[in-house]
Structure 1
């Protein structure tokens, strides 16, 4: 059937009319979140989080899921994973500051045909992918930090201190065709202390209530504006919010082994294979999972070295795809960019990933075909052009979590993010914001990257040509 996959195809009905009997599972009041995301090979996936509970005694495993209407036909969505509370596992926090992870909701999904034109669930119209997106909205590190270690208590109740909700509304007004989130959706790890006013009443831990507060409520305008590409960050590794990542956001099929519920499976679940999302016929995004990478260089005898080496071989194969002339690589941890350090010289790019990459491509690091690299993790904006011919690099980790200190301006002479990488120019800002990618007009290839403040003020515009990035402003930007 056009517009639908075989998933959930047991019940296919005409679209509901005013005379139809209401479907309890499809009541809008039950729907907690609904969105479309892109997976491997450009597979579009409609996802819904629902609090509806099917009557007991039924035999349909999908009975808790709503009807999804695609081009006039309604089909019951398939259950991805039902409600559950995982026992307390080893986390990044002490056991006294952790708790079991509760998901009193079901996650339902349906894969969409590339021919789907109109998709809706309950009273919500969902965005459908465009074959050749012209505008991509890019952001990262959006959650509100609540962490006992370091007494890091962001004022989640203050729209200035944590501007993600306002930022998402402004970003949605740019009418993107696609949203690219480069990781770290979840930050509320520990309970807000009674003497910290700014986060009182906030949920905490790794369950649904926190995911709702940190991502799905504030991001609602962007989730309804366009399909998303979800990149995993270090806050979504198994000892942190990995359980929610696999229930809610991972584009591949859910399985208990890759659920992060049992730490014995972490060596599997903390790594995912790279995949590509096409941006039309000659451009693509390659998604790389660096959630568990450390900061120190790896030895060839390290198990993680072998994992990343193999995965970067896959990146090389994806970048070599026939007809693709512009590969944009994205992962959470910056590889050829900087991490500002208060009162000291900025730290280089991620040494662990560099070590695996250099084993394959020496000091070129990236395989041929990669022209641009996009990252989060560092809570600022950076746009870097290299005199050494390395891929243009942009960091957009300024989406809402506490900002890092500004990079020095100018950078210390000779400073480099990696051996063999020579910076030509850098444009940077330590202010909240997001980035927009606009496709360059034909016959030119590549994209124009525009940095905006959280309020939507244009701060810099950078035009890509191959691996080069030409920005209209350099140095430190102020909103």
Structure 2
């Protein structure tokens, strides 16, 4: 056999081995710098499982490199233009959602010390999350129905990016977003320079402009826990929520593509994210999907009532796994909402009545299981801190992340004001400055602070067990 025959056989053998390896891998492995990479980050899911995510305009997924070892990522969602479905807007103000990108994912091993995708280092979860950043309601509102078009081109009037860059300097171990990432639902009116050129609708270009590009500094420094808001329901940005954000597997039927399956797409089960142990205290987050919850109580015969009832039973069971539990959803349960109509008085509303009605059936007047000591939410575009002389967990609202801000509530409030009939308010603070929260674990307590977009302290609280004390700065 001559040299050329030998070489030919070696080439055939190499190609055969290459084909076999390719067949055993979901996508080809790429490890170098990649100009097609749009973003890469880490999201934390059930039981604290860290998941590396990447979005690319390439036709194949990049490799995830963990401690120097490369492995292919799986395709979570292929590039696609989804058919136009019923949305929250009129048909003439809607369009199909286009995702000309691959969403790729792979689990991070618990033992991983370093990880990267296409040359971009990923933040690694810490066994104990000492410092947590909390943000919410961050997108730039463009909405025909409200005739409201926020100044997306003005970093002072839409200050999400500035707030993010300030928060990133705090070097958090974890970031929690309490929901509503996406607000650019409709086209900017012709001639409006404040939002001219903005993408709109529910596709990738809008998600990129409203969240991924301005959030870059925080996506880079810490893993994220993502909570779903009402702007991520199926009639709004639910398709992008499932393709890009949610830590659970993307499944046909709950992807918000077919509106006939919206009962599956709009509801998802609660789960816990462990925060590790400090001293004798094991802490965790309990994540609850309240995206579709109404304002008024549901009829007990309503399918959503039965579904939420089972989910709150799950919350009760999850709370038994830790000494200190922080319940997180999008809609405030123990906080206020405010609304001022044009030239009218400021109307103040209590916490979400639908959830209160269901929760008191399981946990009587406390609403929450006894091991839930704090609760976080967004939805109301203010920062709020509320403590109670009754046995209710401290409530924080971090809805001041950059979207159109609400009118602040008066301080002091009218006598006997309460977000829930069985709760007696002890301390109340609120602000409509764009900002974020930090939650820091100490040896026997938590220090919770609210900051404005430039890092000026607004309010500080300390929680030990069921007792929280707050003061304004």
TM-score, L = length of structure 1: 0.90
Q: Which residue of 1 is the match for residue 46 of structure 2?
A: 40
CA contact (8 A) 1:65 1:76 kept: yes
Aligned partner (choices 62, 86, 89) of residue 90 of structure 1: 86
CA contact (8 A) 2:29 2:70 kept: no
SS at match of 2:65: strand
1:328-378 Cα distance to aligned partner (Å, 9 max, x none): 000000001000122234100001111111111121111121000000000
Task: Report the Cα distance in structure 1 between the residues aligned to 2:30 and 2:366, rounded to whole angstroms.
Answer: 57
Q: Which residue of 1 is the match for residue 327 of structure 2?
A: 329
SS at match of 1:472: strand
Q: Which residue of 1 is the match for residue 216 of structure 2?
A: 220
CA contact (8 A) 1:25 1:65 kept: no
Task: Report the Cα distance in structure 1 between the residues aligned to 2:335 and 2:190, rounded to whole angstroms.
Answer: 38
Q: What's the offset of the Cα at 1:465?
A: 1.5
Task: Report the Cα distance in structure 2 between the residues aligned to 1:188 and 1:161, rounded to whole angstroms.
Answer: 15
1:273 correspondence with 2:269: yes
Cα RMSD between the aligned structures? Answer: 1.7
Task: Report the Cα distance in structure 2 between the residues aligned to 1:49 and 1:26, rounded to whole angstroms.
Answer: 15
SS at match of 1:266: helix
Task: Report the Cα distance in structure 2 between the residues aligned to 1:284 and 1:197, rounded to whole angstroms.
Answer: 45
Aligned partner (choices 439, 442, 456) of residue 441 of structure 2: 439
Task: Report the Cα distance in structure 2 between the residues aligned to 1:195 and 1:395, rounded to whole angstroms.
Answer: 36
CA contact (8 A) 1:25 1:52 kept: no
Q: Which residue of 2 is the match for residue 411 of structure 1?
A: 413
1:2-58 Cα distance to aligned partner (Å, 9 max, x none): xxxxxx99459xxxxxxxxx97685421110100010001100000000002xxxxx
Task: Report the Cα distance in structure 2 between the residues aligned to 1:387 and 1:87, rounded to whole angstroms.
Answer: 52
Q: Which residue of 2 is the match for residue 385 of structure 1?
A: 387
Q: What's the offset of the Cα at 1:471?
A: 1.2
TM-score, L = length of structure 2: 0.92
Distance 1:276 1:23, change over 3 A: closer
Q: How many residues align?
A: 444
Q: Which residue of 2 is the match for residue 290 of structure 1?
A: 290
SS at match of 1:174: coil
Q: Which residue of 2 is the match for residue 15 of structure 1?
A: none
Task: Report the Cα distance in structure 2 between the residues aligned to 1:298 and 1:223, rounded to whole angstroms.
Answer: 37
**Paired residues for 1:159-178 under 5 Å:** 159-178=155-174
Q: Which residue of 2 is the match for residue 239 of structure 1?
A: 235
CA contact (8 A) 1:135 1:438 kept: yes
**Paired residues for 1:34-433 under 5 Å:** 34-53=40-59, 64-281=60-277, 282-321=282-321, 324-342=322-340, 343-433=345-435
Task: Report the Cα distance in structure 1 between the residues aligned to 2:24 and 2:131, rounded to whole angstroms.
Answer: 36
SS at match of 1:222: helix
Distance 1:110 1:411, change over 3 A: same
SS at match of 2:253: helix
Q: What's the offset of the Cα at 1:241?
A: 0.1
CA contact (8 A) 1:36 1:227 kept: yes
Q: Which residue of 2 is the match for residue 18 of structure 1?
A: none
CA contact (8 A) 2:30 2:63 kept: no
Task: Report the Cα distance in structure 2 between the residues aligned to 1:218 and 1:357, rounded to whole angstroms.
Answer: 36
Task: Report the Cα distance in structure 2 between the residues aligned to 1:451 and 1:305, rounded to whole angstroms.
Answer: 34
1:451 correspondence with 2:457: no
CA contact (8 A) 1:384 1:469 kept: no
176-185 or 188-197, larger mean C-alpha shift: 188-197
Unmatched segments (≥5 aa) in structure 2? 1-21
Task: Report the Cα distance in structure 1 between the residues aligned to 2:46 and 2:290, rounded to whole angstroms.
Answer: 17
Task: Report the Cα distance in structure 2 between the residues aligned to 1:152 and 1:407, rounded to whole angstroms.
Answer: 21
Moved over 4 A (4+): 8-12, 22-27
SS at match of 1:353: helix
SS at match of 1:223: helix
Task: Report the Cα distance in structure 1 between the residues aligned to 2:415 and 2:93, rounded to whole angstroms.
Answer: 44
Q: What's the offset of the Cα at 1:170?
A: 0.8
Task: Report the Cα distance in structure 1 between the residues aligned to 2:62 and 2:103, rounded to whole angstroms.
Answer: 10
Which has more radius of gyration?
2
